[in-house]
Structure 1
Amino acid sequence: MTMNSIMATERDLRLHITMKPILSAEEHDALVMFFTWTGFFATIVGIFSNILVIVTYAKIGFSDTINISYSALGISDLSNSVIRLWGVMCYFFVVTNTHVPFDSSSITVTTSFFPGQGFEKTTAFLTAFIALERCLCVQFPLHVKRIVTKKITVTSIVIIFLFTFIPSNFIHMVFPLKWVFSPAQNRTILAMIPLQTPLRYIIQRVLLAYYGTVLHFTALIAVWICTVFLAVGLQRTVKIRKDTFKNSNAKRDRQRERRVIKTVFLLAVTYLACSTPTAITLLVPHFVPEFETSRGLERISRVSHMLSSVMTQINASTNLFIFIYMGSKFRETFLTLFRKKISTPLKVVN
């Protein structure tokens, strides 16, 4: 061990011992409970809103490729909301000491955290794909129908799901669920028992790097670039004079295309706003190593991770409201789901 490493170790140990927590225990517990309940309500909204999104687009039909992408986004957000809700419920089980037949504090790793990461990144890449599709429409309006076909759209969506969600299930290989005896409950319960092998640490580190760095920042950068192009495209459509339209159909098609671009732009901006806390949380430990290990910062770290999770769930809950606000056809079809059908008058029997 070199002299520099010895000095660094002593410095970290001294910081760990002497540095006082920034948040008090009461403040930390209050913030944790606030973010827990906020996440709980956000998941409930996300479940119902995304079900409505899927049902509405199924009723509209999939003649347009953008409707297929919107539906896939709804499926991903719905799955993420369900899994996140399960994670919140597991936390409530721990806090309330509920005697459920499983160790709720451990099984969340394989049944909520990693699957949630998978669907979170699926949503991110679907958002990037949708934004890219609209960018192609702006740049190549006469050729986009040949570039983005239904087959290409469905194939791209399947590939996104395969590369973002499927790897999250590899965690079950090294963190299996087993039935073990619990002295506290005096019965056999289901718990996560990590394997004590080098393979476990390799897979765990690879998955954390894959989801926490590679996928997250790749999707973030892609959405940022596409959002800039969409903003330029919106400005271009505004500058087009009305007299350039030869007929009312061309004008109507142009207005519809502009609404779609604005819808995708709002989806992208919402994703960027909600992903920023996660990006900051992931980057801070690279510049402040004590963020994850220091006694004085561990509470801040835990709260920041919870805030990131809540913002991710909020992003999964807002699509319905964006579609209702921006899409006239979606809004009209959505409202028909709640309209009562006019019943035929009953015949009067003499």
Structure 2
Amino acid sequence: MTNEESFRLYASPTIMTTDIASTGKPKPIDINTIRPVLSAEDYIALITFLSYAIPVVAIIGIASNFFVIVICKKIGGSETINISYMALGISDLMASVIRLWGALCFAFIVTNTKLPFEPRSLSVPTSFFPGQGFDKTTAFITAFIALERCLCVQFPLHVKRIVTKRKTLFAIVIIYLFGFGPSNLSFIGFPFKWVFSSVQNRTILAAIPLETPLRYIISRGLLAYYGTILHFTALIIVWICTIFLAVGMNKMAMTRQEYFKHSISKEDKQKELRVIKAVFLLAVTYLACSTPSAATLLVPHFEPEFTSSKGLKRISIVCHLSSALLTQMNSSANFFILLYVGSKYRQVFLGLFGKKSLGFKNVPEQ
């Protein structure tokens, strides 16, 4: 096997088909002789667009989540919701950095440069699986925020006792361990090795898949864990909590309106509607950006050749990069949603640019 072939992310096995017209017996066919679904011109056009679009959106995500962390630090950690917002910003920031690196690994300007490493092979253990880990960490922190807000609405008098600072920190640590932790197993299935490149005529670093069943177990296990178990669990939790939150806040708003029939202001009514709209926007944005990623991760379980055959591999790469772009848009959009929801959050953000001297500290987020 040549060095170029060793850089392939997955092996290309031979599949079996039945020649019914002649013998009716299984006949081996090399799947690499199958004509690609995407033409070379279309593939290059799509891969070029995605390779440059993802870094641009990732840079926006890095900058926006940096502001999330800075603002949450200025507001302080007296309120548990601010701790959750900071954890969400850290997760989105790391996801954006990793996704930026992964996009650069497939950019032609990088792959055509004679680097001391093979970027596409290294992207599997250093970008793809770690990116999935931080994406699911973001998903469960989003679910935790929705659950926390749901408890605030349903049990306003007891929420301080139910959701404490210690419990919040413990929940976030657990989310990070189960979200990002397992992604490090990819370094076992795709270890780094120094190999000789006949193209560059020198030894370079590459991630070479193990030629053992262990690599198959790790890769399929991580795909199932991130693409099925964590993904759909997070979606269900977010939807359930969001529905209860919207119903509870609407009920609370109606109760206030009945109790303060003559005193409730129009501004308070609009504030209630803005919060409900923002929560739904957060959930819908997450759903719209995460569903394609789940579909891309599920396809290899039903069609193994999706990532290995010559006919489908171009589609597979385009689908993965498209999903990465949508997921990155979700990580970048959270900042603007938070900016829209919280009045104090917005005030601190404007204060960073000297718009107004804001002399408060540890202000609870609204």
What interval of TM-score do these two structures reach, taking the shorter chain for normalisation? 0.7 to 0.9
Instruction: Assess, with a 3 A threshold, how the Cα gap between structure 1 residues 293 and 192 changes in structure 2: closer, same or farther.
Output: closer
Query: 1-side partners of 2:325 and 2:33: how far apart?
Result: 32
In 1, are the aligned partners of 2:228 and 2:298 still within 8 Å (CA)? no
Letter in 1 for 2:75: I
Letter in 1 for 2:120: S
Q: For residues 186-215 of structure 1, give each alpha carbon's deviation from its aligned partner in whole angstroms, at most 9, with x where no partner exists.
A: 333222133333323222222222112111
**2:340 pairs with 1:325:** yes
Query: 2-side partners of 1:137 and 1:261: how far apart?
Result: 14
Residue 235 of structure 1 deviates from its aligned partner by 2.9
Q: For residues 198-237 of structure 1, give each alpha carbon's deviation from its aligned partner in whole angstroms, at most 9, with x where no partner exists.
A: 3232222222221121111111222122222233234324
Give the TM-score normalised by structure 2: 0.80
Alignment equivalent of 1:148, drawn from 146, 163, 172: 163
Residue 109 of structure 1 deviates from its aligned partner by 1.1
In 1, are the aligned partners of 2:64 and 2:335 still within 8 Å (CA)? yes
CA RMSD of aligned residues (A): 3.4
Identical amino acids, percent of aligned pairs: 63
Alignment equivalent of 1:192, drawn from 183, 191, 207: 207
**2:288 pairs with 1:273:** yes
Residue 281 of structure 1 deviates from its aligned partner by 2.7
How many residue pairs were aligned?
338
**In the alignment, which residue of structure 1 is the partner of 2:70?**
55
**In the alignment, which residue of structure 2 is the partner of 1:180?**
195
Query: 1-side partners of 2:172 and 2:351: how far apart?
Result: 29
**In the alignment, which residue of structure 2 is the partner of 1:337?**
352
What does 1:1-350 correspond to in 2, within 5 Å? Answer: 7=18, 22-92=37-107, 96-242=111-257, 244-245=259-260, 262-284=277-299, 297-339=312-354
Which has the larger displacement, 270-279 or 59-68? 270-279
Residue 107 of structure 1 deviates from its aligned partner by 0.9
In 2, are the aligned partners of 1:54 and 1:71 still within 8 Å (CA)? yes
SS in 1 for 2:239: helix
Query: 2-side partners of 1:220 and 1:119: how far apart?
Result: 15
Residue 138 of structure 1 deviates from its aligned partner by 2.2
Instruction: Assess, with a 3 A threshold, how the Cα gap between structure 1 residues 243 and 32 changes in structure 2: closer, same or farther.
Output: same
Query: 1-side partners of 2:181 and 2:312: how far apart?
Result: 34
Residue 27 of structure 1 deviates from its aligned partner by 1.9
Which has the larger displacement, 10-19 or 130-139? 10-19
Give the TM-score normalised by structure 1: 0.83
Structure 1: which 5+ residue stretches go unaligned? 343-350
Letter in 1 for 2:183: S
Which has the larger displacement, 47-56 or 287-296? 287-296
Structure 2: which 5+ residue stretches go unaligned? 1-15, 358-366
**In the alignment, which residue of structure 1 is the partner of 2:4?**
none
Which has the larger displacement, 271-280 or 22-31? 22-31
SS in 2 for 1:141: coil
